[in-house]
Amino acid sequence: MPVWDVFGKRKPDDEFQWVGGIKAPDVDMALVLARETHFRHKEGVAYAVRRRGDTDAALHVGKYGGDELGGLTDRSYRRQEAYAGVGARQKRVSREFARAGVRIDRSRPPAAGSPRARVPDA
Amino acid sequence: MPDDPRLSLILALADDELILGHRHSQWTGWAPHIEEDLAFSSIAQDEMAHARMLYRVARESGLTDRDDDALALGRPPEEYLNAVLCERPNGDWGYTVARQYLYDTADAIRVQVLGDSSWRALADAMKVIELEEKYHRDHAVTWFNRLAEGPSLTARERFAEGLTTAIGEAIAVFEPLSGEEELVSEGVLPRSNEDMLGDWLGELGEALEASSLDYVLARHGPVGEMVPTGSGEIPVESVDFTVPGVVRRDGRWMHEGAFAGAGGRRGRHSEDFLPLWEEMTALYRAHPGAKW
Dump pLDDT digits (tens) for B40-76. Answer: 999 999 999 999 999 999 999 999 999 999 999 999 9
Query: In this structure, what CATH number is given to the domain that contains residue B267?
Result: 1.20.1260.10
> Where residue A105 falls among pLDDT bands split at 50, 70, 90?
low
Q: How far apart are CA A36 and CA A51, in angstroms?
A: 18
Long-range contacts of A75-84 (CB under 8 A, 24+ apart): A75/B45, A75/B49, A77/B45, A78/A41, A78/B45, A79/A41
**Given a cut of 60, is residue B229 above it in pLDDT?**
yes
Residue B169 resides in a domain: yes
Question: Closest Cα of chain A to B142: distance in Å?
Answer: 6
Using only the alpha carbons of chain A, give its radius of gyration.
25
pLDDT, tens only, A21-77: 999 999 999 999 999 999 988 889 999 999 999 989 999 999 998 888 887 777 766
Chain B CB contacts of A26 under 8 Å are: 146
Q: How far apart are CA B198 and CA B106, in angstroms?
A: 11
Q: Do residues B37 and A23 lie in contact, with contact meaning Cβ atoms separated by under 8 Å? A: no
Chain B CB contacts of A1 under 8 Å are: 33
Residue B51 resides in a domain: yes
Q: What is the DSSP track for B216-248?
A: HHHHPPPP---B--SSS-SPPPSSPPB--EEEE
User: Which pLDDT does position A89 carry in this prediction?
Assistant: 84
Chain A CB contacts of B142 under 8 Å are: 28-29, 32
Residue B209 resides in a domain: yes
Residue B61 resides in a domain: yes
User: Which domain, by its residues, includes B110?
Assistant: 7-286
**Which residue, among A18, A17, A24, has the nearest Cα to A3 in the 3D structure?**
A24
A39 to each of A7, A62, B39, B101, B241, how far by Cα in Å?
10, 11, 11, 23, 43
pLDDT, tens only, B128-183: 999 999 999 999 999 999 999 988 999 999 999 999 999 999 999 999 999 999 99
Whether the predicted model's global pTM rises above the 0.90 cut: no
Residue B292 resides in a domain: no
Residue B257 region by backbone torsions, left for phi larger than 0, else alpha for psi between -120 and 50, else beta: left
> How many separate domains does chain B show?
1
Residue B23 resides in a domain: yes
Q: Inter-chain contact B146–A26, Cβ cutoff 8 Å?
A: yes
Query: In chain A, what are the domain boundaries?
Result: 3-70
Please give the helix or strand (H or E) that residue A5 lies within, else none. Answer: strand A3-9
B249: helix, coil or strand? strand
**Which residue, among B94, B90, B107, B108, has the nearest Cα to B16 in the 3D structure?**
B107
